[in-house]
Amino acid sequence: MDYKINAVFDDHSIRVYQAYKDAIADEAIRIGTFGNLFKLDRMTWIKPSFLWMMYRSGWGEKEGQNRILAIDIKRTGFDIIVKNAILTSFSQTNHNTYEQWKNIIKKSEIRCQWDPERDVYGNPQKQKTIQLGIKGSILNNYVFEWIINIADIT
């Protein structure tokens, strides 16, 4: 399968989407990045696909995911994330053994998952879309260095 990331981007930035509860979203909008209410000690998932974000958040109806944020981040940061991501499922094409993959993913701060893209009705499409899980120092870079702008697009 051929993988291609579809996103709103230019040479300097790329837009990702995340959904949060009101308090986290309000604080992020106010200060231009995530603040004290955002948990830096867990993995967070960023999604370049607006329709996948809307589907995943139940169209903004899921509890704690009622605010949809469009987050423009530095393209250099996004490229680091993609380049170092480990697939969330084992593939012999990428790793010799299941044990090798398990050890690598356990140590990795970046996870990659490909899911069916969604149409405006939430129906799965043949095309896959990426979501990226980040934690640790990568998450710190995302929050404190790579975020350029946050907009509430709920």
Does a structural domain hold residue 20?
yes
Does a structural domain hold residue 28?
yes
Does a structural domain hold residue 7?
no
Does a structural domain hold residue 114?
yes
Does this model's pTM top 0.85? My answer is: yes
Does a structural domain hold residue 3?
no
Does a structural domain hold residue 8?
no
Count of residues making up the chain: 154
Distance of CA 37 to CAs 45, 53, 83, 126, Å?
16, 21, 29, 37
Does a structural domain hold residue 36?
yes
How far does the chain reach from its first CA to its final CA, in angstroms? 33
Nearest-angstrom CA–CA distance, 25 and 66: 9
Contact call for residues 4 and 34 (beta carbons, < 8 A): no
Q: Which residue has the tokens 């697009």?
A: 153
- E strand or H helix at 81, and its extent? helix 75-84
Average pLDDT, the chain: 94
Query: Per-residue pLDDT tens for 5-25?
Result: 999 999 999 999 999 999 999
Q: How many other C-beta atoms are found inside a 10 Å radius of the C-beta of residue 76?
A: 12
| Residue 100, domain extent | 13-152
For residue 1, name the pLDDT band (cuts at 50, 70, 90).
Answer: low
Contact call for residues 46 and 134 (beta carbons, < 8 A): yes
Domain count, the chain: 1
Query: Per-residue pLDDT tens for 91-130?
Result: 777 777 888 888 888 999 999 999 999 999 999 999 999 9
Nearest-angstrom CA–CA distance, 108 and 83: 12
DSSP-derived secondary structure letter, 134: E
Residue 55, C-beta contacts closer than 8 angstroms, at least 6 positions apart? 118, 122
